Amino acid sequence: MHPAPSVIIFTTLSGLGFGLLFWLGLGLPAVTGWTAFAFFAIAFGLAVGGLVASTFHLGHPERALKAFTQWRSSWLSREAVVSVAALCLMGLYALGAVFFAASWTLPGWLGALGALGVVFTTSMIYAQLRTVPRWHTALTPALFLAISLAGGALLAGQVSFALALLPLAGVLQVLWWLRGDGAFAASGTDMASATGLGDIGAVRAFEPPHTGSNYLLREFVHVVGRKHSLRLRGIALGLGYVLPIILLLVPFSHLLGLLAVISHATGIAASRWLFFAEAEHVVGLYYGKR
């Protein structure tokens, strides 16, 4: 799949932002006044910034409001609805925390639930696609949720939670990669089933429909950088999970905390790039490519 920068930025930043909103909604940390303002500004900046970035790849962003209508059937529509609901609830909670030094439990808890809901619906957009066997697993939402919760705990300064969640997310990440590497072969879709000609013999793509490229090849049969896959996995694992854990284990300082956050976000961005770049769509079979 084509690793569109807008989607990588969106899922990385908004995952982090909604993760932070989750912990803030639970009152961890229970901040008020200017401190609360700073926390909520970072959280909303990441979450909303990510959502805005996701509209950059739309053909007609001016019609984006229509995406709120099909929540009965579409995970993308559900994501839109849940994200606005979560942002409104957390906005209300932030209002109380910043201006009235209050901790309104109900909107806080509902907002925290909504923040997790956003991450879950985002992950389901990918996990639902049978056409991309690497994504089509319950491990995808599990990984997205774990990363978001761990990153949010890191940003919220919840060291003990972060120290539990970062290893969990790291383990899920490795499991997701291991399962993903055999997913295409295990899906049962191959040249024979794609063409229905397997009964005659071994099918080989002889000529593509056109000599030039097309939308399908650009969007779904993207092979750039797959050769660096192993190195990038090492970088993602090291920066995203291992280094932040080490930085949290040494005596706390704000500088090291900031370094841990930056390292984590960079590692997750690398992991998210691989999420798209390594994903193979079954339509590639019709072109004899994957």
Partner 1 sequence: MTTLPETTDKKLGLVIDLDTCVGCHACVISCKGWNTENYGAPLSDQDAWGASPSGTFLNRVHSYEIQPEAGAAQLVHFPKSCLHCEDAPCVTVCPTGASYKRAEDGIVLVNESHCIGCGLCAWACPYGAREMDHAEGVMKKCTLCVDRIYNENLPEIDREPVCVRTCPAGARHFGDLGDPDSAVSQLVAERGGVDLMPEQGTKPVNKYLPPRQKDELGTTGMHAPRLDPVIEDAGGFLGWLDKALDRLPGGAGSASDSETR
Q: How far is the CB of 9 from partner 1 (least distance, A)?
A: 16
Q: Give the shortest CB-180-to-partner 1 separation in angstroms.
A: 17
- Measured distance CA(175)–CA(177) in Å, rounded: 5
Q: Which is nearer to partner 1, 115 or 129 (CB)?
A: 129
Q: Which of 138, 204, 227, 250 touches partner 1 (CB under 8 A)?
A: 204
Shortest Cβ distance from residue 233 to partner 1 (Å)? 24
Check residue 187 for interaction with partner 1 (CB under 8 A): yes
* 76 part of the interface to partner 1, by CB under 8 A: yes
Identity of residue 30: A
Q: What are phi and psi of 251, to 5 degrees?
A: -50, 135
**Contact with partner 1 (CB under 8 A): which of 10, 39, 75, 176?**
75
Contact between 197 and partner 1 by CB under 8 A: the answer reads: yes
Distance CA 91, CA 147 (A): 23
Among 32, 103, 131, 266, binds partner 1 (CB under 8 A): 131
Q: Does 215 bind partner 1 (CB under 8 A)?
A: yes
- Closest C-alpha among 96, 98, 87 to residue 33: 98
Q: Binding partner 1 by CB under 8 A: which of 74, 103, 229, 266?
A: 74
Question: Is residue 67 near partner 1 by the rule CB under 8 A?
Answer: yes
Site for partner 1 contains 220 (CB under 8 A): yes
Q: At what angle do helices 33-54 and 5-25 cross, to 10 degrees?
A: 150
Closest residue by Cα to residue 10 from 124, 168, 119: 119
Query: What is the sign of the dihedral through the CA atoms of 7, 11, 17 and 21?
Result: positive
Piece of the chain touching partner 1 by CB under 8 A; list 30-38, 64-72, 83-91, 229-237: 64-72
CA distance 21 to 47: 9
Gap between the Cα atoms of 284 and 289, Å rounded = 5
If you search the block for the tokens 């019709």, which residue do you land on? 286
Rounded CA gap, 67 and 207, in Å? 39
Please identify, using beta-carbon distances, which residue of 126 and 273 lies nearer to partner 1. Answer: 126
- Tell me how far apart the alpha carbons of residues 74 and 60 are, in angstroms, rounded to a whole number: 18
What's the rounded Cα separation, in Å, for the pair 268 and 37? 26
Nearer to partner 1, 195 or 253 (CB): 195
Q: Provide the Cα torsion 168, 173, 178, 184; round to 10°.
A: 130
Question: Rule CB under 8 A: is residue 214 a binding residue for partner 1?
Answer: yes
Residue of the chain from 34, 138, 186, 207 that contacts partner 1 (CB under 8 A): 207
- Binding to partner 1 by CB under 8 A, coded x per residue (else -) over 27-56, reads ------------------------------
- Report if residue 202 touches partner 1, rule: CB under 8 A: yes
Residue 289 is a binding residue for partner 1 (CB under 8 A): no
Q: In the complex, which residues of this chain contact partner 1 (CB under 8 A)?
A: 1, 57-61, 63-64, 66-67, 69-70, 72-77, 80, 125, 128-132, 187-189, 191, 193-197, 199-210, 212-216, 219-220, 281-283, 286-287
